[in-house]
C-alpha cells in the first residue's frame, strides 16, 4: 500500500524534500550514470507527489510543473520509483495517482511529459501519445508525449 502526499515545494518538510531529491539523484544521476543538475528551478513552480510505503519509506515520486512553464499543459516529470519496489506496480500506481491529481487540479486540461524513449510504451498504456521527433536530453533518448483531457 502506498500513502500519497501532494504538496507544493514550500509545503514540503525538509525531510520530505531531502528524501525526494535523494531518490531522484540515486536513480537519475547515479543509477543512470547521467551527470546533470537535477534541481533545475522548476521545482518551485510544481506540485510534488510523494508515495510512501507502510514503513514510511519514500518509494515513489513525481512532480507536475504548472501549465505554461514547460509545456502549455501541466508537465509531469521526474517520475521515479525506488529500485526495491520496481516490478511490483509502484510505477503504475504513481503515474495513475499523478494523472488523477492533475485532472483534479486542472479539470479539462491535457498533460504532457518528456519520456525516456524506452518508457514510451509504459506511458502509452496511460493514454500518452508521442508528439514530434525523438530527441536527446542529457545523453538519453527521449520523446515528447501528450495526453488528452478526459471527457
Instruction: Give tens-digit pLDDT for 18-46.
Output: 999 999 999 999 999 888 888 999 999 99
* Separation of CA 132 from chain center: 20
* pLDDT tens, residue by residue, 4-20: 999 999 999 999 999 99
pLDDT band per the 50, 70, 90 thresholds, residue 80: very high
Cell numbers placing 101: 491529481
Percent of the chain with pLDDT over 70: 99
What average pLDDT does the segment 69-85 reach? 96
Give me the pLDDT at residue 1, please.
83
- CA 68 to CA 3: how far, in whole Å? 29
- Other C-beta atoms closer than 10 Å to the C-beta of 1 total 7
**Domains, the chain, ranges and CATH?**
3-107 (3.40.630.30)
* Per-residue pLDDT at 101: 98
Q: How confident is the model at residue 151 (pLDDT cuts 50, 70, 90)?
A: low
Residue 72: band (very low, low, confident or very high) from pLDDT cuts 50, 70, 90: very high
What are the CA-CA distances from residue 35 to residues 80, 85, 86 (Å)? Answer: 17, 24, 23
Q: What is the mean pLDDT of the chain?
A: 95
pLDDT of residue 37: 85
What is d(CA 80, CA 18) in angstroms, rounded to the nearest whole number? 15
Measured CA to CA, the distance from residue 61 to residue 127 in angstroms comes to: 20
Per-residue exposure over 120-142, b if at least 16 CB sit within 10 Å of its own CB, e if not: beebeebebeeeeeeeeeeeeeb
Amino acid at each position: 500500500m502506498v500513502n500519497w502526499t501532494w504538496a507544493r515545494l514550500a509545503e514540503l518538510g525538509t525531510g520530505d524534500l531531502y528524501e525526494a531529491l535523494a531518490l531522484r539523484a540515486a536513480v537519475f544521476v547515479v543509477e543512470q550514470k547521467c551527470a546533470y543538475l537535477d534541481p533545475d528551478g522548476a521545482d518551485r513552480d510544481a506540485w510534488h507527489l510523494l508515495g510512501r510505503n507502510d514503513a514510511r519509506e519514500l518509494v515513489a515520486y513525481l512532480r507536475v510543473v504548472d501549465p505554461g512553464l514547460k509545456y502549455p499543459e501541466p508537465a509531469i516529470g521526474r517520475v521515479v520509483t525506488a529500485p526495491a519496489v520496481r516490478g511490483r506496480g509502484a510505477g503504475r500506481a504513481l503515474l495513475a495517482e499523478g494523472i488523477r491529481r492533475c485532472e483534479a487540479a486542472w479539470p479539462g486540461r491535457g498533460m504532457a511529459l518528456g519520456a525516456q524513449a524506452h518508457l514510451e510504451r509504459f506511458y502509452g498504456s496511460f493514454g500518452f501519445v508521442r508528439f514530434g521527433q525523438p530527441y536527446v536530453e542529457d545523453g538519453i533518448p527521449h520523446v515528447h508525449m501528450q495526453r488528452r483531457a478526459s471527457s
